[in-house]
Structures are given as structure tokens and as C-alpha cells.
Amino acid sequence: MASHAYRPAVPCSAKSSRSGEPCRAFAVVGTTVCVSHGGAAPQVRKAAARRRQQRLAEERATRSLAAQGVQPLGDPLVAFRDLAGQAIALKDFAAAHVAELEGRLTGHDAKGTEQLREVVGLYERAMDRSGKFLADYVRLGIDERMARLTEAQAVVLVEVLDRVLARWG
Ligand SMILES: [Zn+2]
């Protein structure tokens, strides 16, 4: 399977220093600016590469989950509850793997550049998402409307996440 996903070209967010008009060039992939507005700078490229890596990891995870039949249901309440459950399971999953790093939150890429490990970024985003889901969950009173996830569903989710991790290597 191709390792890249289609993304529309993004216009450069800078303005021309001469005319003051918005720049008409396209941003370097993964950044918001074109080459002449700093898109080729090492730190910008590095950040872009990291975001690209994270996005690919999430796309791989999403594909794995979809391929294994974990799909939202038609009922929005059920779908919301399942999404919230998955967000929290993903957060717990990432937390466990961050804990295994024992404080070694950075690693080195092929060029020897120090990088925050992918799972740390995944954990941060999973925390954010879980927080939002929980806030909505309480606000919408979903607990009162819905039965909790059954044990069986939770076990299936954990198995799926384990397989996803195995693919990440
Ligand atoms: Zn530009």
C-alpha cells in the first residue's frame, strides 16, 4: 500500500515583503510556508517531518482499526460512546508505552537528529482528545442514556490496539 495519502496543496501563509499581498506560492508539504518564506529552514523541515510521521502513524492505525471491523454505528449516541471509549483506550495505551520509555522521551532518527518519540506526541494528542470527550460525555449526560461498554467490547478493543502496536514496531 502507498505510504502517502493525498493532501491538497496549501498556499503559503506569508505575505510578499514587497507588495504586501499574500504569497502565491504553495507551502512546503507539512508546513504553512513556501521555500522562499522559510519552508526549507532546518527546524521547519524537522517539525514538518515529525508531523508527517505522526500523521502517517495515525493513518496506519485508522486503517488497521477499519480493516478489523471497528466502525462507528449508526446511532450517534452509540457512536459517540464508542469514540469516547476508543479515545480513552488509545490514551491508556499510549500512556503505558510512554511509561515504558522510563523518561527517555526522545530518540534519534536515521540522521542522528534528536526527536521526540512518536508515542509521546500520540499520548499528548490522545490526552487532549480524551479530555474533550469526557467533558462532552458529562455535559451530554450520556452515562444516563447509555449502558456502559460491555466487557466483551473492551476486550476486542484492547486486542485491536495490541495488533496496531505490533505493526508500528
Ligand atoms: Zn511564500
**Once rounded to an integer, what is the mean pLDDT over residues 125-130?**
89
Q: Binning pLDDT at 50, 70 and 90, where does residue 12 land?
A: very high
**Once rounded to an integer, what is the mean pLDDT over residues 56-61?**
80
Coil, strand, or helix at residue 169?
A: coil
Give the CA count within 13 Å in the CB-facing half-sphere of 144.
4
How far is residue 169's CA from residue 154's CA, in Å, rounded to a whole number?
23
Residue 4 Cα, ligand 1 centroid: separation in angstroms? 24
Residue 35 Cα, ligand 1 centroid: separation in angstroms? 7
Residue 94 CB neighbour total at 10 angstroms: 23
Per-residue pLDDT of 82-111, as tens digits, reads 888 888 888 898 888 888 888 788 787 777
- What global pTM score does this model have? 0.39
Residue 28 Cα, ligand 1 centroid: separation in angstroms? 9
What's the distance, CA 75 to chain centroid? Answer: 25
How far is residue 6's CA from residue 9's CA, in Å, rounded to a whole number?
9
Q: Binning pLDDT at 50, 70 and 90, where does residue 18 land?
A: confident
